[in-house]
Amino acid sequence: MSIAVLPTLRDPYPSRLDHAISPIAREEPTVWCDRRSNSGPLGPDDLDRFDERGYLIRHGTIGTETVAPFGTEIDRLAAELAPDDRRVIREPGGAIRSIFAPHLLSSLIADVVRSDAVLPVARQLLGGEVYIHQARINLMPGFTGSGFYWHSDFETWHAEDGMPRMRAVSCSIALTPNYPYNGSLMVIPGSHHTFYPCVGPTPANHHEKSLVAQQFGVPDQDTLTKAVDAHGIDQFTGAAGSALWFDCNLLHGSGSNITPLPRSNVFLVFNSVENRLGAPYAAEQSRPEHLAARTATAPIRR
Ligand code: 6CS
Ligand code: FE
């Protein structure tokens, strides 16, 4: 009698390992729309640049006259949410660092998701219908705001949320001016072509710590040194209303903000409806809905 052996599903992007392995070349495209029959807000040069460098800056994504009310809106959300609401992440000193799922709490932010300057770009880059995988407001207060260490978002979303493929894109829109000196986001251009497996198994309830300071799912210093030697570092700066679109696998991070000038951004992650979440690839439990949507995954309609 022979024993049937079930084939083990191959994970193209293994991470959270007990030993280091070499970087892995990305298998799927960065730009998913059909380039021949393509119509959308991004021209061929924009698409080429996004493909090559993994990001694109679009100034004036929220108009100057419409961006002002967002400050008041954030204050309203911060005041309305209970101090122990899981959607609010605080700095060790108590200041609010992030508010998750603001698009479900604020019609102003829900309107941005559906706006002409945002939704068609996400659809074009991902080649079809999309939904919000994660959204947050990141607040980096003056003097005390702390940064995010280098990471690829896809590494976390694959390992902890079961996102199968690199078919998601983030849109970070400045709500206050993003200067080179107030903790603005740095990216390693071109790093999205490579998956960098990380060492160290995911601890239980990792998200309770990782959203303040991420320790697991970050490349080692030697890997980062080589990536920066090869590609350099670019930075996203711009007036309030400017948007940074970046591929889900682009390495990025930010320093702290010791200036008096706060840096607030709204951060929207679009995922293709053909890339909905499954079981985590490298974690015991999936994360809560406000970090990784499994229920609210209907295509966004305008
Ligand atoms: O956990 C998340 O979904 C996001 N936050 C952090 C700190 N790293 C991965 C990803 O960007
Ligand atoms: Fe990130």
Confidence of residue 81 (pLDDT cuts 50, 70, 90): very high
Number of helices (H), then strands (E), belonging to the chain: the values are 8, 13
pTM of the model: 0.96
247 SS3 class: strand
- Which ligand is closest to the CA of 163, given by its number? 1
Give the position, in ligand 1's atom list, of the atom nearest the Cα of 161.
3
Which tens digits make up the pLDDT trace of 191-246?
999 999 999 999 999 999 999 999 999 999 999 999 999 999 999 999 999 999 99
> Widest CA span of the chain, in angstroms?
75
Count of CB atoms situated within 10 Å of the CB of 183: 25
For atom 7 of ligand 1, the residue with the nearest CA is: 211
5 CA distance to ligand 1 centroid (A)?
Answer: 36
Confidence of residue 248 (pLDDT cuts 50, 70, 90): very high
Q: How far apart are CA 105 and CA 110, in angstroms?
A: 8
Q: How far apart are CA 235 and CA 184, in angstroms?
A: 7
pLDDT number for residue 65: 85
Decide whether any atom of ligand 1 lies within 6 Å of the 211 Cβ: yes
71 CA distance to ligand 2 centroid (A)?
Answer: 22
For atom 10 of ligand 1, the residue with the nearest CA is: 153
pLDDT number for residue 9: 75
Decide whether any atom of ligand 1 lies within 6 Å of the 158 Cβ: no
Give the position, in ligand 1's atom list, of the atom nearest the Cα of 156.
9
Decide whether any atom of ligand 1 lies within 6 Å of the 148 Cβ: yes
pLDDT number for residue 5: 67
Give the position, in ligand 1's atom list, of the atom nearest the Cα of 155.
9
Range with the lowest mean pLDDT among 32-46, 196-210, 266-280?
32-46
